[in-house]
């Protein structure tokens, strides 16, 4: 086969014996083969069709697509479930536009994903930022406190809805039950971006979900209940991130108890957001995901729970390895399927730990300061966890904890992360959106008003939004991210950004 570029990269990568602790959640063909979907895999190109006779239509469902939607309604106990083929991103934008009128007001966590900011731009919507608390030690944003939402709702009675991510990228969850009660008491809608928590619903039935008091099954592993169960009105799930549908497929749920009833309006917004040529491969993968969950969800989730209990128990004995904790370890606040490794006691920051794991052919999902996040999914096997444990043991032996502890302190990486963290939650005055823009080198932008979001990726959360003033410290931070090889969307290859003229 004569291949180049993207194709060559993919085929080479798929042919290697790597371990995936990154998206997507299926982790390769293994799960599909185990449950007998070889004929789908073998006919992947033949299955790439359009709306031929009998194939139904995503925007006028009455056949095979309607059947798949019904499977999801049952799985999630929802009054409506929609297949998304533009990822959670499309579902988030449609949900915002369905709940907030053009030019209206939205209370939103400041650490929302960029798709929420796209929703603002498309709907001419005015944001009111809810600032999450911080996990100071690691320089990352934590949960949004219910009291912050309560305050903003009383100050902004004209807001139509509240949106926040839970879990966030690192697995940190907000108290959705308490927030839903507050939002409903004010007569508004609660939208939860559960892009990183499509799996939560299915842990509820196998005793791994901690309840509001933090109780859960035996073992160190626990996850919070899903936003569907906790009372949210619209919930968007990236089934591709942790379950087993293909990348870019996702599910939008209107849970059974939701106060949102205007499904026609929501469907209209979904149509405005989504491609008119929805991929049947993505929709088929959603169908397969639903069937696997229905037929084998119990055994798969028990195995995933057992593997994580095993991993956390074994890892506790590795010298110099720590895990990020939040809220004094409150179990209902953390989705522990995301393994946040910290080996700074061995002198390794997140990037160095990532390098060390790559030497063992182990690919992680996200680096921030001293944390390396390994995203587990429904497709990970016991062997994957064993390979991660073996690699971590080896790294701990070659970088003994005590000997190098001074290095971690000297490296300043925690300080840098904490300084960066302050910028993520900095309360900036929101100026009028610049109407006329110009491109200016980042280094010359101190004091200028940002005209396009500057978004470190991952995590894909805007550091500076349009209408906010850019300061010297933000310029230094973005420069340091770029110097260490991180991508910052909004900064051109020539180092220029859009600011108001
Ligand atoms: C918090 C959060 N929300 C939403 C999204 C968008 O999800 P998708 O990639 O399915 O469009 C992401 C993507 O990583 C995310 O991190």
Residue among 109, 118, 196 to mutate when testing ligand 1 (max atoms within 8 A of CB): 196
Query: Is a pLDDT exceeding 50 seen at residue 408?
Result: no
Q: What is the pLDDT of residues 58-67, one digit of tens each?
A: 999 999 999 9
Residue nearest to atom 9 of ligand 1 (CA): 87
Instruction: For residue 217, report the distance from its CA to the centre of ligand 1, in Å.
Output: 29
Q: Is the CB of 87 under 6 A from ligand 1?
A: yes
Strands 455-457 and 487-489: antiparallel
Instruction: For residue 114, report the distance from its CA to the centre of ligand 1, in Å.
Output: 8
Nearest to 243 by CA among 311, 284, 292: 292
Q: What is the pLDDT of residues 226-279, one digit of tens each?
A: 999 999 999 999 999 999 999 999 999 999 999 999 999 999 999 999 999 999
Residues 232 and 3: their CA atoms lie apart, in Å, by 47
Nearest to 89 by CA among 203, 238, 257, 204: 238
Residue among 22, 118, 144, 238 to mutate when testing ligand 1 (max atoms within 8 A of CB): 238
- The region of weakest confidence among 98-112, 208-222, 357-371, 447-461 is 208-222
Q: What is the pLDDT of residues 163-194, one digit of tens each?
A: 999 999 999 999 999 999 999 999 999 999 99
Confidence at 455, pLDDT banded by 50, 70, 90: confident
What pLDDT does 421 receive? 67
| Residue 167, preceding peptide bond in cis (omega within 30° of 0) | yes
Written as six digits, the tokens of 50 are: 């359009």
Instruction: For residue 358, report the distance from its CA to the centre of ligand 1, in Å.
Output: 24
Q: Is the CB of 25 under 6 A from ligand 1?
A: no
Residue among 113, 241, 246 to mutate when testing ligand 1 (max atoms within 8 A of CB): 113
- The region of weakest confidence among 68-82, 324-338, 346-360 is 324-338
Query: Contact, 98 vs 123, CB < 8 A?
Result: no
Residues 152 and 333: their CA atoms lie apart, in Å, by 22
For residue 250, give the ligand 1 atom closest to its CA.
10
What pLDDT does 433 receive? 77
- The region of weakest confidence among 35-44, 171-180, 320-329 is 320-329
Instruction: For residue 226, report the distance from its CA to the centre of ligand 1, in Å.
Output: 17
Q: Is the CB of 171 under 6 A from ligand 1?
A: no
Q: Is the CB of 113 under 6 A from ligand 1?
A: yes
Instruction: For residue 346, report the distance from its CA to the centre of ligand 1, in Å.
Output: 32
DSSP string, 57-82: -TTS--SHHHHHHHHHHHHHTEEEEE
Say which residue, 413 or 209, is predicted with more confidence.
Answer: 209
What pLDDT does 404 receive? 44
Q: Which residues of 380-401 are buried (b: 16+ CB within 10 A; e: fewer)?
A: bbeebbebbbebbbebbeebeb
What pLDDT does 402 receive? 66
C-alpha distances (whole Å) from 295 to each of 160, 224, 353, 378 are 39, 23, 38, 14
Q: Is the CB of 460 under 6 A from ligand 1?
A: yes
Residues 203 and 173: their CA atoms lie apart, in Å, by 15
What pLDDT does 329 receive? 55
Instruction: For residue 198, report the distance from its CA to the centre of ligand 1, in Å.
Output: 11
What pLDDT does 458 receive? 67
The mean of the pLDDT values for the chain is: 91
409-423 mean pLDDT:
56
Instruction: For residue 345, report the distance from its CA to the centre of ligand 1, in Å.
Output: 31
Q: What is the pLDDT of residues 372-391, one digit of tens each?
A: 999 999 999 999 999 999 99
Q: Is the CB of 238 under 6 A from ligand 1?
A: yes
Q: Is the CB of 193 under 6 A from ligand 1?
A: yes
What pLDDT does 137 receive? 78
314-324 mean pLDDT:
95
| Domains recognised in the chain with CATH numbers | 63-294 (3.40.640.10), 428-500 (3.90.100.10)
Query: Is a pLDDT exceeding 50 seen at residue 475?
Result: yes
Query: Contact, 152 vs 161, CB < 8 A?
Result: no
Query: Is a pLDDT exceeding 70 seen at residue 213?
Result: no
Confidence at 368, pLDDT banded by 50, 70, 90: confident
Query: Is a pLDDT exceeding 50 seen at residue 407?
Result: no
Instruction: For residue 418, report the distance from its CA to the centre of ligand 1, in Å.
Output: 24
Query: Is a pLDDT exceeding 90 seen at residue 453?
Result: no
For residue 241, give the ligand 1 atom closest to its CA.
10
Query: Which of 100-104, 324-328, 470-474 has the highest mean predicted lDDT (pLDDT)?
Result: 100-104
Residue 500, strand partner residues: 437
Q: Is the CB of 111 under 6 A from ligand 1?
A: no
Nearest to 141 by CA among 150, 132, 129: 132
Written as six digits, the tokens of 382 are: 């016991």
Residue among 117, 174, 193 to mutate when testing ligand 1 (max atoms within 8 A of CB): 193
Q: Is the CB of 88 under 6 A from ligand 1?
A: yes
What pLDDT does 211 receive? 63
Query: Is a pLDDT exceeding 90 seen at residue 287?
Result: yes
451-471 mean pLDDT:
85
Residue nearest to atom 1 of ligand 1 (CA): 113
Q: Is the CB of 72 under 6 A from ligand 1?
A: no
Instruction: For residue 69, report the distance from its CA to the centre of ligand 1, in Å.
Output: 21
Confidence at 216, pLDDT banded by 50, 70, 90: low
């Amino acid at each position: 086969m004569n291949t180049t570029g993207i194709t060559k990269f993919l085929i080479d990568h798929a042919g290697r014996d790597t371990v995936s602790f990154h998206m997507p959640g299926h982790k390769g063909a293994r799960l599909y083969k185990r449950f007998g979907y070889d004929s789908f895999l073998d006919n992947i190109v033949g299955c790439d069709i359009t709306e031929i006779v009998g194939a139904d239509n995503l925007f006028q469902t009455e056949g095979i697509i309607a059947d798949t939607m019904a499977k999801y309604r049952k799985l999630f106990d929802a009054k409506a479930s929609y297949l998304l083929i533009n990822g959670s991103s499309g579902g988030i934008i449609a949900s915002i536009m369905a709940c907030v009128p053009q030019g209206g007001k939205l209370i939103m966590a400041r650490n929302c994903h960029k798709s929420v900011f796209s929703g603002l731009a498309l709907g001419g919507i005015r944001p009111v930022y809810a600032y999450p608390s911080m996990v100071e030690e690691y320089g990352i944003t934590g949960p949004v406190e219910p009291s912050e939402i309560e305050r903003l709702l009383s100050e902004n009675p004209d807001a139509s809805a509240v949106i926040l991510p839970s879990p966030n990228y690192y697995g940190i969850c907000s108290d959705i039950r308490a927030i839903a009660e507050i939002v409903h008491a004010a007569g508004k809608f609660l939208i939860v971006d559960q892009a990183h928590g499509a799996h939560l619903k299915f842990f509820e039935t196998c005793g791994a979900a901690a309840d509001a008091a933090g109780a859960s099954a035996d073992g160190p592993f626990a996850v919070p209940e899903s936003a569907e169960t906790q009372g949210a009105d619209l919930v968007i799930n990236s089934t591709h991130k942790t379950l087993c549908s293909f990348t870019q497929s996702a599910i939008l749920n209107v849970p059974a108890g939701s106060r949102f009833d205007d499904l026609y309006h929501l469907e209209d917004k979904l149509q405005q957001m989504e491609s008119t040529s929805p991929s049947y491969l993505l929709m088929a993968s959603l169908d397969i995901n639903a069937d696997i969950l229905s037929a084998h969800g119990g055994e798969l989730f028990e195995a995933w729970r057992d593997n994580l209990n095993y991993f956390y128990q074994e890892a506790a004995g590795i010298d110099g390895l720590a895990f990020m904790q939040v809220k004094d370890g409150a179990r209902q606040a953390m989705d522990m399927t995301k393994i946040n490794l910290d080996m700074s006691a061995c002198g390794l920051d997140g990037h160095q730990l990532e390098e060390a794991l790559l030497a063992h052919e182990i690919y992680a999902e996200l680096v921030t300061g001293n944390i390396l996040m390994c995203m587990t999914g429904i497709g990970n096997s016991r062997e994957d966890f064993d390979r991660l444990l073996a690699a971590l043991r080896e790294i701990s032996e070659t970088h003994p904890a005590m000997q190098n502890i001074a290095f971690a302190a000297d490296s300043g990486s925690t300080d840098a992360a904490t300084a960066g963290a302050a910028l993520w939650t900095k309360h900036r005055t929101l100026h009028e959106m610049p109407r006329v823009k110009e491109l200016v080198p980042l280094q010359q932008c101190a004091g200028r008003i940002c005209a396009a979001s500057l978004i470190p990726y991952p995590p894909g959360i805007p550091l500076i939004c349009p209408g906010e003033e850019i300061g010297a410290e933000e310029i230094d931070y973005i420069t340091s991210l770029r110097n260490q090889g991180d991508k910052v969307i909004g900064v051109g290859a020539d180092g220029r950004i859009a600011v108001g003229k």
